[in-house]
Amino acid sequence: MNVRDWTTKDIGKLKAEDQRAWRKAQFEELEALKKRNVYELADLPPGCKAIKNHWVFDLKSDGHKKAHLVAKGFSQIEGLDFDEIFSPVIQFESVRTILALAALEKWKIEGLDVKSAFLYGMLDEELYMEQPQGFKVPGNEHKVLCLKKAIYGLKQAARAWWHELDQSLKALGFSCLYADAGIFVAKHADGTMVIILVYVDDIILTGPNTTLVASKKKLFMDNGNAVT
Amino acid sequence: MRIEYQGGKTYLDQVPYLEKILKCFGMADAKAAQTPLPTGYKPEPFDGTAMVALRSQYQSVIGSLLYLMLGTHPDLAFTVTQMAKFAHNPLEEHLLKTRHILRYLASTRKYALVYDGRSDAGLYTYCDSSYGDDRSDADRRHQSTQGYYFSLVNASVKWHSKTQTLISTSSTMAEYIALSDCACDCAWYKILFSELGKPMPYVPIYGDSHGAIFNAQNPVTQKGIKHIEICYHYIQEQIEKGEVKVFAVPTTENVADMFTKNLGPTLFLKHRKQLGIEFYPL
């Protein structure tokens, strides 16, 4: 069976040593979520229902064990737990066209990707999630997690990230095109421009002025988003 | 998708994904195939009901092939869209033919889409259709197939292959509809480039049907074309406004031919070169 299909139960059947290693991976994930202020412990308000969650296990190509805590988006109720969920994705032909244009104009291309991008998404709704399986806070087992940021698996996670990215690019002088909402352009008075292609968390920058492209990249990375 | 630069050229490929699916479908060491489908092969629909296991296996192969085709494989545009039509009810034979596509992919795995920065070729498009040769419809209606691709710096940036939804009464009509659809994408390109501050005077379209080109350039009402729906006259308006220009090329030179029919190796390999697919020793 593929590691990605494992459940917490399957982990429980492994050798003690392996179980410990996976548990360590789960702790690392929870630490990362805590560091990003994704949620805080809270009482479930009466009448609210907490969203369920699920552990996803993954073996990276270098053998590193990774555990992801994801929300069970299908247990969310429309109109209550989420509203709009559409988020634009760049078209393949736009990516190829800009790359071809860059080749034609001899522009340099810079790339970056955003680590755990969806955790940057701020939530509009007040959402509660159950405490993760096997990691309930002792003495507070009845409490739930009040979500501050969009965790992976939520219906609106992609849209929330998109909104966050759109805002931070706007602050840097970029605006998206009508032809494709995944292409952002910042035009400067001297006629030069910087083009940004966004494919969810993969970002490509290009433009006629190499220094300007590099400085925009740095600005974007410094802009509170710990991107690599 | 992987992007590499070397000597002023940009290489685009999906080799890591390709290797993964070849391994997954047990075709990593497959025998080479020159073309995606055997020459002359025309898939026929299945009248019965496919087995559930076969169907789900077929759908997963088609899904992977579609992703490759949309990403970096214009050479598969016709083949994969044709085979994908049977995804709801495939025959054992259809599954076998996807093995042939995987064999073709295995033998071209060292190829990439190459945008040659040393060429200064601008945007142009080739458009073609093939009249009434589609057999995939369950009711065996003979629709036409249309296809076009856009090229910038001598490599394809956009490709399209599709069975037309309505029945054409002539090859001219099929081609006229194809030109009209192509003009819609030309308009998108014009918007994109003007938004980027690089407006184009017009987009050249190359087609091989003199009848369709004549009808597009001259607002005549002839017997052969008078019944055509209004939306397909978009091409006329675009030419009139000077947004696009249509030029005739000989059929053998029309690269878009490979987006409308299953070509033999000679023509297929000749046209593939024009798409910007090049051997790229990694």
ipTM surpassing 0.95: no
Asked if B168 contacts B144 with a C-beta cutoff of 8 angstroms, the reply is yes
Selected residue with higher pLDDT from B118 and B220 = B118
* Rounded average pLDDT over B144-165: 95
Q: What is the pLDDT of residue A225?
A: 56
The least confident of A218-227, B210-219, B250-259 is: A218-227
Q: What is the pLDDT of residue A188?
A: 85
**On the CB side of B253, how many CA atoms lie within 13 Å of its CA?**
9
SS3 B278: strand
Q: What is the pLDDT of residue A1?
A: 66
Number of CB pairs, chain A paired with chain B, less than 8 A apart: 72
Structure tokens at B168: 């054409």
**Taking the model in full, what pTM does it have?**
0.89
Q: Does 3.30.420.10 match the CATH number of domain B118-262?
A: yes
Which pLDDT band holds residue A224 (cuts at 50, 70, 90)? low
Chain segment B162-185, per-residue pLDDT in tens: 999 988 999 999 999 999 999 999
Nearest to A103 among B150, B153, B191 (CB): B153
CA distance B157 to chain A (A): 5
Nearest to A100 among B5, B157, B198 (CB): B157
Which pLDDT band holds residue A228 (cuts at 50, 70, 90)? very low
| Phi, psi (rounded to 5 degrees) for A54 | -155, 145
The domain ranges of chain B are: 2-113, 118-262
Chain segment A14-35, per-residue pLDDT in tens: 888 888 999 999 999 998 898 8
SS3 B206: strand
Nearest to B12 among A96, A185, A193 (CB): A96
> Is B158's CB within 8 Å of A93's CB?
yes
Q: What is the pLDDT of residue A32?
A: 87
Which pLDDT band holds residue A64 (cuts at 50, 70, 90)? confident
Structure tokens at A119: 């955790």
Q: What is the pLDDT of residue A226?
A: 47
The least confident of A24-28, A75-79, A195-199 is: A75-79
pLDDT of B248 over the 90 cut:
yes
CA distance A208 to chain B (A): 12
